[in-house]
Each structure stands twice: as structure tokens, then as C-alpha cells.
Structure 1
């Protein structure tokens, strides 16, 4: 992994490195009431303000705290009794289980939008004024700073995340959905020993099987042209790349490899090939036509070009033409991390 990270740094590759120990959480927003405030003011919070002494909560016996919760939130006649154990667990989770750099998600009113953010602080206690309460502002004293990085409409949310949204606790662990969250937030990333390249398919009409298979095949045809940086005499094999498809018009295709170099370089080659970095021109010498391959751009793609076996320029030209045709048919969107780098 150390060599790979050095390779990424030396070649200025805009791939996201996701910590393996990152955790994921769904935090409710009081049925959307506090969504706008959470989002615009950059925080999340949790209620039960009477239990906001962090040190006391940490150092007290659980039974002692749950007894106090039972007394503090004793219901009036006809109301449901509190669940002191659940309340204790929710407060404890917010105070001590959520960590800086974890991912947190919050739903808007009716869960029409889901915002994803990175936790940036430990718990702090906000002074809640009567004026703020009268204005209908969030009354939660226990808070954490969050940097919101992406908002997704519910109808554009990865279908696998729908089940996650059925959890109704104030805070729910979403680690079981980590892979789906990662690929929602990033299209080009490494986590652990695996590299991921996500191509979003925006076509809303029905996609023919032939178009889908041809497009995937076109991308995989590039793999045997990529040299292994750790073994320059070897190229990668198509079998080195796994594929996950979730194409439901729209949807996505996810290329994954336990050999992270192959997907890392594959992403660069795809974008460089169709983005104009590779230029084909015809020359005529002694009445014989031949294809020549030139690299137009400098910098990132110039560095990565040395890892492509470009002896068969005709093969690359065919792949480029095929890719452009089927990319348009599927309305495929390549990773922004790479396309933005190309535009620089």
C-alpha cells in the first residue's frame, strides 16, 4: 500500500483514499424540522438536554443514568413510558461512538433529500436561549460540527440505501451500507486493498443488453494494454477486474480490483482516451497509410501514458470510437474527480 500511495502522489492522481476504519451513521432531523438548520449551520445534534454533562455521563454507572432518565422523563398519565435504556444508548452513541471523519447522513422533510457529511468535531455543548426556542430553532444542546459534501434526491439514491432509511432511531449505525455510501459519494477511490471506478449511467430509457455488454467490454479491452508498474514486463488481465452492475435506468456500473493499480490507471486511461488527451493522426509514407498516436495534454496524463502499451494504435483507436458511441447511448458519466482534472 505504501508503494501505491507513493505512486499516486508522484503522478498527481486525483483518487480518493477512504480510511478503512471509517464508520457511517444516519442521524434523524426531528422529521425534517431541523434539516435546514443542520445543513446550513454545519452541525448535527441530539436532544435530552438534561443529560449534557459529558464527563458525568462518561464516568457514571449506566444503571444510575438510566434511573435518572426514568425519573426525568416520567410520563404524564396516558402517555407511553420512556425507554431509559434506549435513550441512554442514543446519548452514549452520540457522545462517544461517533468519531471525527466518520460519515453522517441526514434526511430532509419526507426524506425527499439526503445530505452526506463528514464529522469535523467532538461533541460540544451549545447554549440554548429562550429566544432561539421561541423562534423554532434547534433546541439540541449536544452538537458536532459537520462538513456537508453531497446532497442526493431520494429518487436518485442508490436503491440499496432505501432500507437504511427505514431506521427511525435518532442515530442509527449504517456500517452495513458502507459500500453503497462510498460509491454514492465518490466515483474513483481506494479503500483498503481495493480500488473502485464508478461509471454513472444516466440513460432513463430502457437500455438494450447489447449496448450495455458492448460498453463494458470496450472498457475492459483497455485492461490488457496496461502495464503493471511493479512488474513492467507484465500487463494486467481482464480477469483482474470485477464488475458490479446496478443499472436500472439510471444506475451505475462499478469496476473493482484487488490489484488497485489496474483500476487506478484504467480510470485515467478511459478519461484520457475519450477526453482528447490521445490524438490519432494518419501519415502517408511511400503510399502506405499508418496510424500514429500522440499525447496532446501534459501533466497527469502524460505521466500515466507510459503505462499503456500503445504498440497497437489501431486497437486504441477502435476502443476510443466504440467508447464514444456507447457512452452516448448509455449517457455514461465518467468520474468527476478525473474529468475535472483533465479540464485543468
Structure 2
């Protein structure tokens, strides 16, 4: 194919390998809206002087003892409860870093919002209060600036419900990294694997044959794109599915060209219209919304190169339409074959 897939892969979002993930509660949803509207997250204990927490950077016993004594002199916490809050204050001050991801829930965890940490801890004066558990509480004054990325509602919240099992104000969410990143964008690279999130929007019970044809199409086109770019036939592909009616299929693998090819084919099934030439058996695409025209000719050539590919594409498109398959949020510029200076810069590992 003439389509320069390597330059397009360079434009795919690459996740920093040092990024960590955090679940931060919102006082039962009471501070959720304020966090969103004012672009921050915060932790309580406004009365605790910031210097006591800053001094605990190295977790020195004497510094932690000073912090413990101050908390126990001002609050009713003791023993393990005090230790829990000390650890959360230290995490908020020292362990969370700029570039980390935070997830916050609204009341009853009916929706979640994902954001990127943009600052160190800063302290503000805020005389406002909110109602929580029949008491008025002051808004948190120890804060970090957040750039909100995505609001998660409806069936998508199922994948994050496990975060709420922790009752702490701040808890680590590293085990949800792939799920969270998939809500930021439907295609990304993390730990040298390319990830692609496909969303099934069908509200009724999933037809088993449609699901089988969809999964068969994913594995088939993955291997066909690998072959096209000289990558040996392989089984380096995993798919995690959380489907009741509507739900997500998460595809990942080390051979990025194969995953990227699946993304292109899926985009065409959702947005492209094709016509078949009865004389030659070949088909051509009309440009669909959001599809870069420069990829249509090489992808058409790719599909027409083997009759089996055209048949598989028709099956995949049929199953995709029946399942109402698409991406969560597609950045169509990654389908362009020109790379803007300074974007991407992925690892040039052989066989991608």
C-alpha cells in the first residue's frame, strides 16, 4: 500500500510510562461539580499547616510523628485511622505527580470524570461550605489543578465501578490504567503496545453470530495488515470484552501496524459507503464523514488485492452495523499521512 502507515502511527497518543492513576472521592458527590467547574481536586484537613505535610516528603519517622500529633490534637482520629489519613495527605502532596490521571465520581457514582494533573499542591483561602452527612464542611483548600478530559456516563461507568470499593478519599487506580486511557482516546500506545477501543452501541441482547463475525474480522484484518507489512503471522493480539448489551471491546498488541489497520477498517465500516463493480468484482469507496480521502485509494487497493479480503470486509461491515460498532472518540487526524513537526515520536521498534 502507498499509505504511509508509519507516519500515521507517529501521531497516535503515547502514554508516559511513569504516569500513575488515582481515584479521588468527592464527599459523596458534594464537591463533584465544584471540582469540575473550577478545574481542581482537593483534600480536606484545612487546619493542618502545609509545612507539616511538606516535611513528610522523605517519610521520616520524626516528621510523621509531628504530623500525627498535630492531627490527633485537632481531630478525633486515633491509631489506624490517623495513619490512613497521614498516608493520604502524603500521597496527595508528594506521590501524585503532574501528568498523572485522576478519576472522580459524582453522587452514587452515576458518572465519572477523568482529568490530568497540571500542578503541584497549592493552598487557597475559601470561606464557602457544602452540606455533607448533615453537616456543613469547608471546601478543600489543599488543591491540585486538573485539566478535565472526559465525562463517563451510562453503560461505560460499569468498567469503573470497582474503583468505588475503596472507601478512602484517595486510592490508587493503576489496575484500571488501560480502561481509563481508553476513555481519554480510543487509540493510544502504552508500554509499547497499541490499544484500540471499539464500542458496541446496540441496546438489545447481543447476537452471537454478529459478535463472532465482528471478532473474526478483527483477528483476520490484524493478520492481513501484518502480512502486508512483512510481519510474520502471529497471535500477538488480545481482546477484552465487557458486553451485556452495549459495551466495549478493547484490542491491544505489540504489532502496531496490525492494530492500526483494524482501526482504519473499522472507521470505514462505520463511515464508508462502497459500490461493487459486477464485471470485475472489485469495489470502491465513497468518502464518509471523518474519513481522510488520502487513505481511500490505498485501502481500496488493499481490500481488492484478495477476494477473501473483500468478502471479509462485507461480513465485518454487516456485523459492525448490526452491533452499531464505533470508536469511543476517534481523533481522525491520525489517519492523515502527514505528520506535524513535534508530534508523536514513537519508538521505532522493528516490525511495528
Structure 1-normalised TM-score? 0.80
Q: Which residue of 1 aligns with 2:37?
A: 40
- Distance change >3 Å, CA 48–CA 190, structure 1 → 2: same
Query: Which residue of the partner structure matches residue 236 of structure 2?
Result: 240
- Separation in structure 1 between the aligned mates of residue 261 and residue 286 of structure 2, nearest angstrom: 18
**How much has 1:339 moved relative to structure 2?**
5.5
CA spacing shift, 1:307–1:138, aligned 2, 3 Å = farther
Determine whether 1:140 maps to 2:135. Answer: no
Q: State the structure with more CA Rg.
A: 1
CA deviation profile, 1:175-203 (whole Å, cap 9, x unmatched):
12222222333321110121111111112
- Name the SS for the 1:100 alignment partner: coil
Per-residue deviation, residues 190-218 of structure 1 (Å, max 9, x unmatched): 10121111111112221232221112112
Q: Sort the Cα spacing of 1:22 and 1:222 in 2 relative to 1 into closer, same or farther, 3 A.
A: same
The alignment status of 1:211 with 2:210, answered yes or no, reads yes
Distance (whole Å) between structure 1 residues aligned to residue 150 and residue 73 of structure 2: 41
For normalisation by structure 2, the TM-score amounts to 0.78
How far apart are residue 155 of structure 1 and its match?
4.7
Could you tell me how far apart the structure 2 residues matched to 1:247 and 1:158 are? 10
Number of the residue aligned with 1:168 = 167
Aligned to 2:15: 18
Partner residue in 2 for 1:104? 102
Q: For 1:127, which of 118, 125, 128 is the aligned residue?
A: 125
Measure, in 2, the Cα distance between the counterparts of 1:177 and 1:17: 17
Cα deviations by residue, 1:206-234 (Å, 9 ceiling, x for unpaired): 123222111211232223331568xx4x2
Q: 1:85 to 1:58 in 2, by over 3 A?
A: same
Greater RCO, CA 8 A, separation 6+ = 2
DSSP-derived class of the 1:49 partner: coil
CA–CA separation in structure 2 for the residues paired with 1:206 and 1:121:
45
Check whether the contact 2:238–2:252 (CA below 8 A) recurs between aligned residues.
Answer: yes
What is the DSSP-based 3-state SS (H/G/I as helix, E as strand, rest coil) of the residue aligned with 1:157? helix
RMSD: 3.3
Would the alpha carbon gap of residues 47 and 82 (structure 1) be closer, same or farther in structure 2, given more than 3 Å must change?
farther
Judged with a 3 Å threshold, the aligned counterparts in structure 2 of structure 1 residues 254 and 301 are, in CA distance, closer, same or farther, namely farther
Structure 1 residue matching 2:235: 3-state secondary structure? helix
Residue number in structure 1 paired with 2:191: 192
Cα separation, 2, equivalents of 1:209 and 1:52: 59
Match of 1:116 in 2: 114
Indicate conservation of the 8 Å contact 1:242/1:255, yes or no.
yes
CA shift in 2, pair 1:140/1:290, >3 Å: same
Higher mean C-alpha deviation, range 65-74 or range 175-184: 175-184
SS of match in other structure, 2:316:
helix
Structure 2 residue aligned with 1:291? 281
What is the total number of aligned residue pairs between the two structures? 321
Q: How does 1:1-344 map to 2 (within 5 A)?
A: 10-11=7-8, 15-54=12-51, 57-58=54-55, 61-74=63-76, 83-129=81-127, 132-133=128-129, 139-153=139-153, 155-159=155-159, 161-227=160-226, 232=229, 234-235=230-231, 237=233, 239-272=235-268, 274-276=270-272, 279-282=274-277, 289-292=279-282, 294=284, 301-302=294-295, 305=298, 309-310=302-303, 312-338=305-331
Structure 1 window deviating more from structure 2 (144-153 vs 334-343): it is 334-343
Q: Quick one: structure 1 residues 337 and 290, their matched pair in 2 at CA, closer, same or farther if it must change by over 3 Å?
A: same
Residues 218 and 338 from structure 1, CA distance in 2 versus in 1: closer, same or farther, beyond 3 angstroms? farther
Q: Unpaired segments of 5 or more residues in structure 2?
A: 57-61, 337-352
Structure 1: runs of 5+ lacking an equivalent: 1-5, 284-288
For 2:219 and 2:301, the matched residues in 1 are separated by 14
> Any idea what SS the aligned residue of 1:121 has?
coil
